[in-house]
Amino acid sequence: MSVKDRIREKGLELGFEGVGFAGVEPMDSYIKEIESRPPEMYGWTNSDRFSTIRGASPQVKHPSARSLVVLISNYYRKSFPQMLEGVYGRAYLVDERKVLGEEMARIASFFVFLKQEGISPIYDGEIPARMAAARAGLITYGKNCFAYGREAAKNSSWIEIIPFIADVELEPDEPSVELNCPPKCKNKCMKACPTGAIYDDMKMNPLKCIAFNTYYGAETTPMELREPMGTWVYGCDACQEACPRNRPWMRQEKPPHEDLHSRMDEYDLQAILQMDQVFYEEKLWPRFFYISRKRIDRWHMNAARALGNLGNSDCIPALERSLRESPYENVRSMSAWALGRIGGAKAREILEKARGKESEPVIIEINQALHML
């Protein structure tokens, strides 16, 4: 058995769904694409751009690099509570595997094996994972910019890609750097994207993407995105849910995600709107760490916007409290917007009462909310 075959066999034995090999030459087409994107359109700082481009030349960054070893893992093995769908992206709901260390343990075992084979692996988060996997023949692209397994997870996009650098030459696998969407699909992902973020084949504007706007984005979510963002508070799966390439895996019977079912109270939108720092750091942050520990306001703002879009008048007391008591201007602004969106006499009364005590930016939001009524 060759070294490659032994590595592949070990990866599969550890539960990874794919193991592939690629060279370390600069990923020219990827670099060209990044360089063509205006930083202001993509919300990048110069340092983001620099590190993205640097990661695409593994051997320049790591002179000992000779090959890439790429692993594929399927993160959607269990079914999620219905209540969380349309609210949290699936990839983040299952992050507990990482938090609990299971994924890290598998990767550590894989590293031990590579070392026994005389290979010193390096993990570098700057390596473009999707391009590495396409070069290793493990995925093809979708027009929605996601990577679809060629064998993993019934060819779906519910996969995580983990690339490593190896310091020995391993013959690259046949690459699959290609778009592989069936013509009869007729761009379902683009039509399903609520904000129009996907504007062409494999072209997505992150500043319009819901996922980006839930964890990064403007201090206060821009008005034109609030309604299309619906109830998503962390991530967005709409373009993957609409995709016919994902249907076989989505239809597959899966065991329930017991942990999530037992912790539903922690993911309730009203609970999030009212959570304090201790709850945030203990319950949410370990799983959803793209939002900093210091930015509880972003969670409060997202929850207020989602509750406004739910349009349920039972949420009015919670929104009234956040408009009256939140120390964060963006949260009070979004609470005012949500009350305007829910509407009704009670919402009007709360907004009018709050107007006299507010800062200028929040007064503007209140006036707009009153106008919506």
Residue 193 makes contact with ligand SF4 by CB under 6 A: yes
Q: How far is the CB of 216 from ligand SF4 (least distance, A)?
A: 13
Between CA 333 and CA 259 the distance in angstroms is 34
Residue 233 makes contact with ligand SF4 by CB under 6 A: no
Among 93, 181, 310, 347, binds ligand SF4 (CB under 6 A): 181
Between CA 240 and CA 196 the distance in angstroms is 14
Among 236, 306, 319, 362, binds ligand SF4 (CB under 6 A): 236
Distance of CA 367 to the CA centre of its chain: 34
| Calculated CA dihedral for residues 153, 201, 39, 91, nearest 10 degrees | -20
Give the DSSP H or E segment for 296: helix 296-310
Residue 373 makes contact with ligand SF4 by CB under 6 A: no
Residue 248 makes contact with ligand SF4 by CB under 6 A: no
Residue 142 makes contact with ligand SF4 by CB under 6 A: yes
Is there a contact between 351 and 366 (Cβ–Cβ < 8 Å)? yes
Residue 98: both structure tokens together: 């990482």
Nearer to ligand SF4 among residue 242 and residue 316 (C-beta)? 242
Residue 210 makes contact with ligand SF4 by CB under 6 A: yes
Q: Which stretch binds ligand SF4 (CB under 6 A): 77-85, 130-138, 202-210, 346-354?
A: 202-210
Residue 250 makes contact with ligand SF4 by CB under 6 A: no
Q: How far is the CB of 169 from ligand SF4 (least distance, A)?
A: 35
Residue 328: both structure tokens together: 């964060």
Among 245, 298, 300, 332, binds ligand SF4 (CB under 6 A): 245
Between CA 67 and CA 24 the distance in angstroms is 5
Is there a contact between 134 and 141 (Cβ–Cβ < 8 Å)? yes
Residue 285: both structure tokens together: 């942050």
Interacting residues toward ligand SF4 by CB under 6 A: 142-144, 181-182, 185, 187-189, 193, 195, 197-198, 204, 209-211, 236, 238-239, 242-245
